[in-house]
Amino acid sequence: MMTLSELARRPAPWLVGGAPERDIVLSSRVRLARNLEGHRFTHVGDAQELRVLRAEILKATGSAPRLGGASLWTMEELHEIERRFLLERHLISVDLVKNVLGRAVLVSQDEGEGLMINEEDHLRLQAFASGLAPDRALARATSLVAELDLQMRFAFSERWGYLTACPTNVGTGLRASILVHLPGLVLTNDIEKVLNGLRRLNYTVRGFYGEGSGAMGALFQISNSVTLGHSEEEIVAELLHHTRKVIACERDARAILWEREPRRIEDRVWRAYGILTHGRLLQTKEAFELLGDLRLGVSLAIFDGLDESILNTLLMNIQSAHLQVVAGRTMDPAQRDEARARYVREVLTKSAPRKDDR
Amino acid sequence: MSCDSCGGDNATLQYTEVMGASKKVQWFCQGCAEARGLLAWQAEAASAQEDAASGVLGTIVVEQTSTIRLAPGRRCDACGMRLSDLRNTGRVGCPQCYETFREHLEPLLRRVHGATEHRGHGPGAAQDREHVQHELARLRRELLDAVRREDYEQAARVRDEIARRETELAQGGAKRP
């Protein structure tokens, strides 16, 4: 059982490591929605009903080997900043930040799997993998859901598959998403063309924080919205296929930029490095943009000694609730900007020996 | 406001149809709107609000300008949810609702997913998978054993059997192939 501040002090394992396509893809995630047979869905349940359901689900998860040693947080017991921390960490959704009664989250020891209890559906399982590996995330999620399937009866119909509170999730209850970094397409102004192409294919494209968030630092989440009529493997394979096309476009864009305007790109990257290593106040949005530029610099080999793992971890840890959980106190925006700038300076000066300018 | 269909003066529903770059705005009275099936569309548009933003089914916009009295409609025996609740929240109340409101859900599912039938995993597959996994563990031991005995013919047979089972497992209990 981990504490939140222990969690905040270590990098999210699914953001680090020699992951496939890591110069463009940060992580892959799969979510499966399940509900218990014979119960009303969360949004119509009262507090008592939701607590009983939570207890029932927790009892069942007790015998799931993949959740052995998992950490449990019940939402009623957390401060809002702590819930926001879990949101920033991608372990819970906005729903659980706002609605706390009878809600909980379980997080596996290696943070590779999680289970939200009484979100829009009774169970929302998540599995993470670093880099472009939605198939690996699906395999993990499928194994976990199979363990739970032995312990409880999920609402299922032969015709419609797994029954969910919202008909947009019915069938597989699967949402696979891939977090990508597309600065090349943003700088060449081709990004809207590519994203609209994805939307026409029924994919949802969102910013780093998911639903309703704008894109900061050229980070986008691509996910499926069709959940019925195709198998889990088909949905993930399709997403993988289309993401590979986006990756190819991004590689082309970077090559064109580097060929046509190397000085402009170098300048952009070094300016970002300058501000990040010397600034005294950093707002989240600015930090995201600058770290995004730096990430581009790493992939174009403008730096050595810095890698994607360090930058991905920074992107996670500079968020407001992360800073406050690490500090162990609430901070006003000005204090957060100062703490953020200090933290970024410390990490970057430690790990970024500069390459001589050509 | 006069109705663009029958010319009567009690139009309450503004209907906006967006086709590519062109946009057509029309007004209808309750009766004409119903006759054209617009009320059902309106319910679907409401229940899919979340997705409209992402462009999944954002092609038809129906705006209500004064209260339209919808009959509260059928009620789910299991959870008490009414059809009007489904229209308002876009969510059903319990698993049973899928049967209760079947005729209203099917057009919506077809629009959102392009399908009305599940083709993925089902429950109970877990037991099958567990069984296959046990079998795989046994076969791998057998393979090691055969290699140790230098019985390569048997090893090849076991190896093929393992490959077959692994494929089976990877296909993960798909309900329909």
Predicted confidence at residue B59, as pLDDT, reads: 35
Closest residue to B118, CB basis, from A154, A161, A168: A161
Look at A147 and B118 and tell me if their CB atoms are within 8 Å: no
Which pLDDT band holds residue A210 (cuts at 50, 70, 90)?
Answer: low
Q: What's the pLDDT score for residue A302? A: 86
Beta bridge partners of A145: none
Return the exposure string of A12-44: e unless at least 16 CB atoms fall within 10 Å of the residue's CB, then b.
Answer: bebbbeebebbbbbbbbbbbbbbbbeebbbbbb
Give Cβ neighbours of residue B133 (< 8 Å, ≥ 6 apart).
B169
Shortest distance between the Cα of A150 and any Cα of chain B, in A, equals 7
Tens of pLDDT, residue by residue over A7-64, are: 998 889 888 877 899 999 999 999 999 999 999 999 999 999 999 999 999 999 998 8
| Cα distance between residue A342 and residue A183, in whole Å | 25
Residue A6 clears pLDDT 60, i.e. is over it: yes
Answer yes or no: do B56 and A204 touch at CB < 8 A. yes
Contacts of A52 (CB under 8 A, 6+ apart): none
pLDDT at B66 over 50: no
Could you write out the three-class secondary structure of B110-172? Answer: HHHHCCCCCCCCCCCHHHHHHHHHHHHHHHHHHHHHHHHCCCHHHHHHHHHHHHHHHHHHHCC
Decide if pLDDT at A165 tops 80.
Answer: yes
Nearest Cα neighbor of A161 from B117, B44, B20 is: B117
CB pairs under 8 A between A and B: 137
**Chain B residues in contact with A206 (beta carbon < 8 A):** 54
Query: B61 forms bridges with which residues in the sheet?
Result: B16
pLDDT in tens, A103-146: 999 999 999 999 999 999 999 999 999 999 999 999 999 999 99
Q: In this predicted structure, which of A33-47, A83-97, A196-210, B61-75 has the lowest mean pLDDT?
A: B61-75
- Whole-angstrom distance, CA of residue B164 vs CA of residue B135: 12
Q: Is B35 on the interface with A (CB under 8 A)?
A: no
Nearest residue on chain A to B126, judged by CA atoms? A146
User: CA of B44: which chain A residue's CA is closest?
Assistant: A167
Predicted local confidence at residue B41, as pLDDT: 52
When mean pLDDT is compared across A112-126, A163-177, A304-318, B126-140, the lowest value belongs to B126-140
Residue with tokens 């218990």: A36
A130: left (phi over 0), alpha (psi -120 to 50) or beta: beta
- Considering only the beta carbons, identify the residue of A159, A225, A234 that sits closest to B51: A225
Put simply, whether A157 touches B (Cβ < 8 Å) is: yes
Q: Residue A54 to residues A66, A121, B61, B72: CA-CA distances in angstroms?
A: 19, 12, 39, 32
Is residue B54 predicted with pLDDT exceeding 60?
no
Q: What's the mean pLDDT when you consider all of chain A?
A: 93
- Most trustworthy range by pLDDT among A296-305, B43-52, B107-116: B107-116
pLDDT tens digits, B138-152:
888 888 888 888 888
Mean pLDDT of chain B: 72
Best mean pLDDT range from A1-15, A255-269, B48-62, B157-171: A255-269
* Beta pairing class for A123-130 and A161-162: unpaired
| Distance from the A177 Cα atom to the nearest Cα atom in chain B, whole angstroms | 15
Tell me if chain A has a CB within 8 Å of the CB of B134: no
DSSP letter, residue B11: E
Residue range B59-77: mean pLDDT, rounded: 52
Q: Kindly state the DSSP code that residue A53 receives in the 8-state scheme.
A: H
Nearest CA of chain B to the CA of A18: how many Å?
A: 25
pTM: 0.77
Long-range interactions of A315-318: CB distance < 8 A, separation 24+: A315/A15, A315/A26, A315/A208, A315/A217, A315/A219, A315/A288, A315/A291, A316/A11, A316/A12, A316/A15, A316/A88, A316/A89, A317/A8, A317/A11, A317/A343, A318/A282, A318/A284, A318/A287, A318/A288, A318/A291, A318/A343, A318/A344
Closest of A186, A196, A314 to residue A253, by C-alpha: A186
> Shortest Cα distance from A204 to chain B (angstroms)?
6
Contacts of A41 in chain B (CB under 8 A): 91-94
- Which residues of chain A have a CB within 8 Å of the CB of B129? 146
Q: Which of A150, A328, A318, A301 is nearest to A219 (CA)?
A: A318
